[in-house]
Amino acid sequence: MSPQILAIILSVAMLVVVLVLLRFYFLPEKYAVIWLVAALVSVVLAIFPSLLDAIATFFGIAQPINLLFVAGFFIVLLLLMQLSLELARTREQLRKVVQSVAADMEQRSHDDR
Amino acid sequence: MKTLIAIPAFNEEASIGAVLAELAGHHPMEHVIVIDDGSRDATSTIARDAGVRVIRHSVNLGVGAAMGSAFKYAARNGYEALVQLDADGQHRPEFLSVLLDRVGSADIVVGSRFAGGGEFRSTWARRNVQRVIAWTVSAYARTRLTDVTSGFRVAGPKAIQLFAEHYPVEFLGDTVESIVLASRHGLSVAEVPVVMNERAGGLPSQSIFRATLYTGRILLILVLAGFRSSPPSIVDMKKRAKRESAA
C-alpha cells in the first residue's frame, strides 16, 4: 500500500470527525474555522503531495518534510496558546460567578433574619 | 395576550433611562425586564429605579445569552409573547402594537427597516452583502425577509418555548441564526415595516476589516446552520414532549 493512501485516509477521517462534531453542536462556531481549515489543508496535501514540494522549494527548504514539521509544530503551538487564553478567561469568569453567588447567598440569609 | 418586553443591555447607562421612560407610556412596567449582561456601569440601578425587573449576569456573555435568559424567564412566567427591544434607543416603542398585531398569524415577527421599500444606505459592497444575507435567510424561512439582522422582533408562544431551550449565542450572529433555527423547527416568520432611530452608539462594523470579519462570520453561521442538526437541548425537549404525549 502506498503511504499516500494512508495519509488520505487519516486526513479524511479527521475532516469527518470535525464535521460530525460541528453537526451535533459539540464544536462551537468559534473554534470551527481553525479545525475546518486544518482538516481541509491536510486533505489537500494528502491528495496533492507535490504542492508541499513546490512550497518548500519556494521557501528554500531542501527537505519538504521539514516544512511540514515546522508548520505543523507552529500551528499546534498557536492552538495551545488559544487554549491557555480561553482557560484563563473561563477561570476569571468562574471566579466572578462564584463570588457573586456567594454575595447573593449571604444577602439572602441576612434578609431572612 | 400576556406580553413581556425584554431589553438586553451592556453598559447602556447613557440611554437606558430615556428608553424606559418612553416605554412607560406604551407598556405596563411590571411586564418589562432588563437583562444586564455584566455591565460595569449604572445600567442595573437605573433600570431598577425605573420600576422594571432586572436579571443581572455576573459576567458578560453576549446578547444571545442575554436573550436566552429573557426567554427562560418568559417561559417560566407563562408569557405568550416576548418583544426584544434594544437599550440604545434605536427601536421606537410606538411600533410595539404593529409587531404584536401580527404575532397571531406568525410565530416570529421581525420589525424591518426596509420592508416599506427603504434601502440600506451604505457602500455598494455592503448593500450587496446585506442582500445576500437577507436572501439566504429568506430561503431558510420560506418567506421574503428584508432586514434579518434587526433585533426589534416579537416571539410568540411556540418561539418562546423553543428559544427558552436554546438561543444562539455566537457574537453578532444570534439575530440571523435564531430565524434559521426557528424555521428549521417548523415555526413561521413574518416581517412588518418599522421606522428606527439612528443608533446612539456606532455600528458594530465600522472599519472595512471589521465589516469583512462580521460578514464572514454571518455567512459561516448561515452555512453551518443549514448543515447542523438540532441543538442537544431541543432534542431533549422533543423527547420529553413525545414521552408526555405517549403517557
Q: What is the pLDDT along chain B (247 residues), one digit of tens a residue?
A: 899 999 999 999 999 999 999 999 999 999 999 999 999 999 999 999 999 999 999 999 999 999 999 999 999 999 999 999 999 999 999 999 999 999 989 999 999 988 876 666 667 777 788 888 899 999 999 999 999 989 999 999 999 999 999 999 887 788 999 999 999 999 999 999 999 887 644 455 457 777 778 888 888 888 888 788 888 888 888 888 889 888 7
B59 → closest Cβ in A30, A32, A93:
A93
CA B204 to chain CA mean position, Å:
16
pLDDT value of residue B121: 66
8 A C-beta contact, residue A56 and residue A70: no
DSSP conformational letter for B154: E
Write out the three cell numbers for A58.
Answer: 519556494
Q: Which of B59, B217, B224 sits opposite A22 (nearest CB)?
A: B224
Kindly state the cell numbers that stand for B195: 421606522
| Nearest residue in chain A measured CA to CA from B219 | A29
Q: Cell match 471566579: residue?
A: A95
Asked whether the beta carbons of residue B170 and residue A30 sit closer than 8 angstroms, the reply is yes
Q: What is the pLDDT of residue B65?
A: 95
pLDDT value for B199: 64
| pLDDT recorded at residue B26 | 95
pLDDT for residue B206: 59
The domains found in chain B, sorted by start residue, are 3-246 (3.90.550.10)
Q: Where does chain A have alpha helices with state H? A: 3-23, 29-47, 50-59, 64-112
pLDDT of residue B228: 84
Q: What is the DSSP string of B157-192?
A: HHHHHHHHH----STTTHHHHHHHHHHHTT--EEEE
The pLDDT score that the predictor gives to residue A89 is 94
Q: Which pLDDT score, from 0 to 100, does residue B128 have?
A: 81
- pLDDT value at position B117? 63
**What string of DSSP letters covers B56-86?**
EESS---HHHHHHHHHHHHHHTT-SEEEE--
Interchain proximity B59–A28, CB inside 8 Å: no
Which pLDDT does position B202 carry in this prediction? 45
Whole-number average pLDDT of chain A: 90
Mean pLDDT of A24-37: 86
Chain A residue numbers with beta carbons less than 8 Å from the beta carbon of B229 are 23-25
Pairing of strands B189-193, B53-57: unpaired
Residue B138 has a pLDDT of 94
The whole-number pLDDT of residue B201 equals 47
- Residue A31 distance to chain B (closest CA, Å): 11
**Chain B: residues touching A (Cβ < 8 Å):** 58-59, 170, 173, 217, 220-221, 224, 227-229, 231-232
d(CA A95, CA B116): 48
Q: Do B59 and A96 touch (CB under 8 A)?
A: yes
Distance from CA of A47 to the nearest CA of B (A): 25
- A112 interface with B at CB cutoff 8 Å: no
What's the gap in Å between the CA of A96 and the closest CA on chain B?
Answer: 6
Residues of A (13-42) whose Cβ lies below 8 Å from B: 19, 22-25, 28-30, 32-33
**Any long-range contacts for B72-76 (C-beta under 8 Å, 24+ apart)?**
B72/B164, B73/B4, B73/B6, B73/B33, B74/B4, B74/B6, B74/B160, B74/B164, B75/B160, B75/B161, B75/B164, B76/B164
Q: Do A29 and B224 lie within an 8 Å CB cutoff?
A: yes
Cell numbers 420589525 correspond to B111
Alpha helices in chain B, H assignment, sequence order: 16-23, 43-49, 63-76, 96-102, 124-141, 157-165, 174-184, 208-227, 232-246
- Contact criterion met (CB < 8 Å) for A29 and B221: yes
Question: Which residues lie below 8 Å from residue A37, measured CB to CB, with a gap of 6+?
Answer: none
In chain A, which among 91-110 make CB contacts under 8 A with chain B? Answer: 93, 96-97, 99-101
Residues of B in contact with A100 (CB under 8 A): 58
Per CB-CB distance under 8 Å, the chain A contacts of B224 are: 22, 29, 32
Q: pLDDT tens digits for A37-89?
A: 999 999 999 999 999 999 999 999 888 889 989 999 998 999 899 999 999 99
Cβ contacts of B231 on chain A, cutoff 8 Å: 25
